[in-house]
Structure 1
Amino acid sequence: MTIIQEKTIAAKVRSDFPILHQQIHGKPLVYLDNAATSQKPIAVLDALRHYYEHDNANVHRGVHTLSSRATDGYEGARDKVAAFVNAASRQEIVYTRNASEAINLVAYSWGSTLKSGDEIILSVMEHHSNLIPWQMLAQRTGAVLKFVGLTDTEEFDFEQFKSLLSDRTKIVSVVHVSNTLGCINPVKEICAEAHRYGVKVLIDACQSLPHMTINVQDIDCDWLVGSGHKMCAPTGIGFLYGKLDLLRSMPPFLGGGEMIADVFLDHATYADLPHKFEAGTPAIAEAIGLGAAVDYLTNIGMDKIHAYEEELTAYLFHKLKEIPELRIYGPQPNADGSGRAALAAFTAGEVHPHDLSTILDQAGIAIRAGHHCTQPLHRHLKAQSTARASLYFYNTREEIDVFIASLKEAVEFFGEVFA
């Protein structure tokens, strides 16, 4: 593998990620499965270790020094997340185990207000985590699910979306960036159109938060969910952003410690935001790790990360054109790599994506193969599964070259098998 150019972000940060410096099957690891989970920098690993070695105690429940330090770290991370998404108040950030739990929180709490005949608008590209909670809500309440389809370029059909909105619509829940198509949905315009009808909007930002600047006040969404492990933070931590008045109007999701004000044998009163939605001992170390990840990304600069990933996207798609057997899903990027996410889901004729992934793994290259938790979308695309290469700011052009060379060899090999 050639030397990384010193001017790139990747050249400056790769030493921060110990996991990247290993061999797989005797070959240098090329990690291209970032849409599934990101790798963790030393700063995040150190934050976890420091908490457990120096500050390990429960939060909010003690006046001793360790508890105070743990609480400061835990709540300080909340401030960092609030600033990262430009929330109007730290109380608008609720910690959850992951984005799936955050969506379920809204579906169970706010969703309890829905009744038979109310309508929920989703899209065919939604991750299962932004589909199943609404299916369950519809089954409980008699609400009706409506789905936005795709344009000819396999992007969110905004014109169809507008036609689905009506006085019966109560909520729109859509992904910001598709983990399969790579399209970037017009979430600000979606919110504006929905709000004309008084409709609430939830944005699944799992695939956008790690890669671009997110401003919830500018988007004007009612809720937004994020997952820490995709943005250099530990697993087991995510968050829900919600507008303050809206969160205050919602009943608790789970009951137990932390979310109470006063408890009697036959009733209880609940704590103010955000603790009303954070029952039980939380993921303290993971939240502190999330705060460290936010610091790390902020110090690099989200605009710089996004610009560098656009360069990688342009290069990746330029190189993928060298393999005519590929069918790449979603829109093509612009010449400068803008207009879509830094990922490519593809098929190669009759070759099963799992076989491609297995062959590439033998070359030290980690990609994804399967339905990427978007089975309905794959059925819509008439593809049982796809292979997916997804990039992050620590990836390089040299790694793309290694991937393309190995992919060419794999496609040629299977082409001879099927000949």
Structure 2
Amino acid sequence: MKKIFLTFGIALIAGASIAQKSNVTNAALAYKDYESNFQQQKAEEAVKSIIEAKGYIDNALKHEDTKEDPKCLMYAGKIYISTTMAYALDSASFQGLNVEKTVEDGFSYLKHSKEVDRKGRYEDDVDDFANYWRALLSNQGIAAYGEEKYQMAMGGLLGAAQFGEVLGITDSSFYFFGGQAAIIEKEYETAAEAFKKCVEVNYNVAQSTGFLAEALTELGRAEEAEKELKAAVAKYPENLEVLIQMTNFYIDQKRNEEAGNIIGEAIKLDPSNISLVYTSGIIYENMGALDKAEAAYKKTVELDSKNTDAMYSLGVFFFNKGADANNAANELSISDPQYEVLIAKKKEFFASSVEWLEKADSLKENDLQILEALKMAYGKSGDVENFKATKAKIAELKG
């Protein structure tokens, strides 16, 4: 997992075993010194020991006789991962170290050790190391998440998940909440990797796909985000939450036609979902599909007779239609037969605007947004008395 540095200053487990090859033996001894020094908080000595250990194990990894040896690989994993911890103590001593690659290689060596260890000689040693760190990091990550220390939570939870992979365990919840912490910290590359893992194992698929799309979009990879969402919709065509995530993506991308199509499918699955029906009205209005927008807003009020958001939207909707009719009439001469038709429509629309805004105002008194819209509707409909009264009420509330 990129960008996850294991920089927790905590005690290490002791480890040693009988050597087979000199470089592996020397690496093991130097690593044991590192553990002892680190545990005793002797930072300078710990750094020297792990640098020495890495030098020996790197030589062993190049040698034909040891590069596929499970013991060599086991120590390589431990030493590489520990090197990234020592880096946090004294980064100046590790000039040119690629911390991300070192972490990734460390986990790879631990896994490969188990793969080639046909007699299982070092499997327990690898698992003990992984279990220890998985437990320790997960506890730290969970605590940090609860305390809203999201950088530490990200490192702890995703670090624990990586050790879980060494054990053959997919810690879906660690990836999920670690990914959420990464989103909060705007570590979008890390978040994308975490949520890809969640999607792969079908964990909380709707939210995971949504977060994955968010991370990819933030990385400038909107096409990839759309591809991931489409794959989820194809796999789970009757999953309402997945359809909502797809809709939200299109809304964010200002692709209203696609959003309208997807939200229509979502509403078929849950026709009484007030939020979906109302949102569809906004989408349809933005698309210019005014008949559908009006129907959606009215359906929202039908489903929820106290939904002031839909009432306000209807008020603004009819106000805008009235303004459009008025503008169209102004383009014509008074003698044009269509002039009187447009004037009649204008009055009708403004009257409807007042009706819906008054309903909203009666349910949500002293709401300045509603009152401002109502004042304008009174003005356009020629209701001078209510216009003045509403204007005075707004001034009183603001004053």
**Given the two structures, how large is their TM-score scaled by the length of structure 1?**
0.19
Provide TM-score, normalisation by structure 2: 0.20
Larger helix fraction of residues? 2
Q: Which has the higher contact order (CA 8 A, sep 6+)?
A: 1
More strand by share: 1
- Larger Cα-atom Rg: 2
